[in-house]
Amino acid sequence: MDGPIHIASTRRIRKTHVAQFERALAEFASRSSAQPGARRVHCLYPPPGSGSTEYGIMRSFAHAGDRDAFYQTALYKEWLARIEPMVKGELTCRQLNGLEAWFRDPRGPMPPPWKMALLTWIAVWPVSMLVPAILAPVLGPDFPQVFAAGLIAAGIVVILTWVAMPLLVKIAHGWLYPKPKSSNTHEILQHP
């Protein structure tokens, strides 16, 4: 099953190019959010006074094919060429999956583990009751127990990954990520 893809990338910027890079980043984020299959773009800026020059982009795509197509566009290649003189070191890029992708918010740190565990439990409890209640009558009493358990587990994982957890994280966003006193993150959203 192909679903949303989340990519986190970071670059270190030469101190003499910070202002120029920030302007270029804002422009690139705005232009790239209009690409087909792009869900949203979050730009991460270093905290003021930290001395850090590490910037990040958290990008979501509708599907893996959209991700692959985006990284082959002229827009992305022009971006890389434009920032080449501004950066130092290599691009760090990784795909976020599982719980990390559910709870990762580029505007701040991960929620405390107890909040992630509680929200996951709230999702797992009803889903783990619902899936067997639906599948058991369909499979019947003569269906091999080991295969029934595998199908039930697969159903639970599918519902948690693509329905329950994304919905609960969205509903509980304010509780998971309380607003900081000052925000250093700029956000551009594109709704599908």
pLDDT 10s digits, 5-23 = 888 888 999 999 999 999 9
**Residue 35 confidence class, pLDDT cut points 50, 70, 90:** confident
CB atoms within 10 A of CB 163: 12
CATH class name, domain 5-105+180-189? alpha beta
Helix or strand holding residue 91 (H, E): strand 87-96
Write down the domain spans for the chain. Answer: 5-105+180-189, 113-174
CB neighbours of residue 174 within 10 Å: 8
Q: Can you give 30-78 as a three-state secondary structure string? A: HHHCCCCCEEEEEEECCCCCCCCCEEEEEEEECCHHHHHHHCCCHHHHH
Is the Cα dihedral 86, 78, 30, 191 positive or negative? Answer: negative
Beta strands 87-96 and 5-13 are antiparallel
Point out the least confidently predicted range of 85-94, 97-106, 177-186.
177-186
Confidence check: pLDDT of 179 > 50: yes
Q: 3-state DSSP: the chain helix, strand, coil percent, rounded to 5?
A: 55, 20, 25
Confidence of residue 98 (pLDDT cuts 50, 70, 90): low
Q: The pTM is what?
A: 0.53
Distance CA 61, CA 59 (A): 7
pLDDT digits (tens, 9 = 90+) for 48-58: 777 889 888 88
Q: Which of 173, 55, 163 is nearest to 104 (CA)?
A: 173
What is the pLDDT confidence band of residue 100, given thresholds at 50, 70 and 90? low
pLDDT at 185 over 80: no
